[in-house]
Every structure is written in C-alpha cells, then in structure tokens.
Amino acid sequence: MNRARFSLLSIFVVFLSVQLVAFSAVSQKVWPEEYQTLMLKVLAIYSVHLTVILGAIFAQARTHLKNPPAELAWTAILLALLWNLALTWRSISFSLASQDSVRDLIKYLDSMSSASSFLVTGALAFFFTKGSQPAK
C-alpha cells in the first residue's frame, strides 16, 4: 500500500474514531436507544467509504501498487479531510454542547454525508479501484 492510500485510510479511521469517542463521552446525556442510533448512524455513513478502501486493500494485499502523481494524492487527501471535517465538527460541537438534540444531529449527518459525498467518491474510486494498477 502506498503512502497516499495509507493517508486516506488513516483519515477515515481517525475521524470515525473521534466521532465514536465523542458520542461515548456524552452517552449519559442522551437516552440509551438514541446513543445506539447515533453510533449506528455514523458507522453506516462511514461503512460506504471504508468498504471501498478496505475491500481494495485486501483484494490487492500482495501486489505492489504504483505511486499516483503527488498533486492527485494531495488533492484527494484535502478533499477527504474536508468531507470528514464537515461531519465531525457537528459531532464534536454536539458532545461539547450543554443542550442539543439528537434528532437534529442525525438530520445533519444524513443530509451532509449524502450531499457532500461527491467530495470523496471519485477520489476513492480512483485510488482504490481504477487507479490502483500494480507497478510494472
């Protein structure tokens, strides 16, 4: 696995973990069933992208992949950061707030994840499927 792919995987895993930890930290401030709904919602949102990433990694585990152009790698990393930040800032602000609503948070996560998925879908498809040709 080259550095660009590793960076993308790390970004998704770190931001997912941050959100799961943030929700766990305030699990007492929501009803148990809402806590479960929140955890499942975030996992469901990330599952789409992590399926592509992990699927490609395991499928090409033994092949040596060629490094993509640096400018493409940086663009993909920035877009992935942008998508993850768009979701994570709301989760963090929820966990730090003295009053908020789980219903509003779920509405935000749903709409933001689907509306901004164009930021990462193309990059992930390139880096983990079409563009990941084995090095000759």
Partner 1 sequence: MHTYRRFMLSSFFCLAVMRLLAQAQQREATPTSASNIAASKSVKVDTVSKILISKDNPAYLISYSYDFGNRPDVYIKGIGTVAPKGEYHYISQKQELEFRDPVNDSVLARVPLVETTVVADTPPMNEMPGENQFPSDYRAFTWELGTSLQERANSVLGQYFNYLPHEHGKVTFLATTYTPLTLERKLSTKGVTALIALLVSFPFDPTTGKYSFHIQSLVKEGRALTDITKPTSDPEILNTAKLFVDTLVSQMKTGER
| Residue of 16, 30, 52, 76 that binds partner 1 (CB under 8 A) | 30
Task: Read off the DSSP letter of residue 27.
Answer: G
Indicate whether 31 belongs to the interface with partner 1 (CB under 8 A).
yes
Print the binding letters for residues 79-118 with partner 1: x by CB under 8 A, - otherwise. ---------------x--xxxxxxx---------------
Rounded to a whole number of angstroms, the minimum distance from the CB of residue 98 to partner 1 is: 6
65 DSSP β-pair partners: 134
Tokens of 102: 């789980």
Rank residues 33 and 71 by Cβ distance to partner 1 and give the closer one.
Answer: 33
| Residue of 29, 60, 72, 90 that binds partner 1 (CB under 8 A) | 29
Query: Which residue, 112, 134, 136, 121, is CA-closest to 63?
Result: 134
Number of residues that bind partner 1 (CB under 8 A): 14
Print burial letters for 70-105: b (CB count within 10 Å at least 16), e (below 16). eeebeebbebbbebbebbbebbeebbeeeebebeeb
- In the complex, which residues of this chain contact partner 1 (CB under 8 A)? 26, 28-31, 34, 94, 97-103
